[in-house]
Amino acid sequence: MLRIEGLHASYGKVSALENVSLNVEAGQIVCLLGANGAGKTTTLNCVSGLVAAAGGRIVFEDEDISRLRVEDIVRRGIIQVPEGREIFTAMSVEDNLMLGAWQHKNNQRNREQLAQVYDLFPRLRERHAQFAGTLSGGEQQMLMIGRALMAKPRLLMLDEPSLGLSPILVQQVFDIIKTIHKSGIAILLVEQNARVALDVSSYGYILENGEINLHGPASALAENPQVHEAYLGGAAVRH
């Protein structure tokens, strides 16, 4: 479904990605793991068209999308949930969600979609009239995911959805990711929290200093001693 082939990217003269290749097949959850500064966000931004690729190809369903505008990439169903709390703070929760459906003009269908999102996130329904800026960190993360669902994604790219959340909330977010996946949406999941990410994924890539240095089925990665050492705190090796 998504094929990244030999992607290069740089900020000015500083190279951020070197020869990154990865695949996401329809119906899969694939994770991209790596430490802070490894280039995970840059990879997603290249796919979304926010950062121009300096080399390589990004192919979505047999179409090279690496030169398309951001809004045209969204139109093809590739939706990124960015890192951090990127919401419209001074607008209501419902306005935030409805803006997610900006490219879809069928109001009737958008309303139905909204009801589904509220079913997935009852907290958002309760707070639909509040300013989004008044939500807690976890609720804001839910809002960003809900907003992305309003855009009717075919491939959902999540950038560190567990960042800054308590373990209980992380569990909730990942349960929701599983639910979304079951509804048939492919997911590219960027995480530093390798344990939870590998747990839900079927395949994983490990990015280090802008290069993929390891990839394989998630179960194999979870048992790989190198991965343990670097990303799982070495815990399993000890027991």
Site residues, Mg ion (CB under 5 A)? 41, 83
Beta-sheet strands, E only, within 34-131:
55-60, 63-64, 78-81
From the CB of 16, what's the least distance to ligand ADP, in Å?
4
* Alpha-carbon span 173 to 175, nearest angstrom: 5
Distances (CA, A) of 76 to 65, 71, 154, 179: 9, 9, 8, 22
Specify the DSSP element, H or E, that contains 199: helix 194-200
Helical H segments across 62-106, by residue range: 70-75, 93-100
Stretch that binds other proteins, among 55-63, 68-76, 186-194, 222-230 (CB under 8 A): 68-76
User: Is 129 an interacting residue with respect to other proteins (CB under 8 A)?
Assistant: no
Q: Which of residues 73-112 bind other proteins (CB under 8 A)?
A: 74-75, 79-82, 86-91, 95, 98-100, 102-103
- Which one, 42 or 224, has the nearer CB to ligand ADP? 42
Q: Which residue has the tokens 């990605």?
A: 17
Stretch that binds other proteins, among 71-79, 114-122, 162-170, 203-211 (CB under 8 A): 71-79
Structure tokens at 103: 């490219």
- Which one, 42 or 66, has the nearer CB to ligand ADP? 42
Interacting residue with ligand ADP among 42, 48, 96, 224 (CB under 6 A): 42
Q: Given the rule CB under 6 A, which residues bind ligand ADP?
A: 11, 16, 34, 36-42
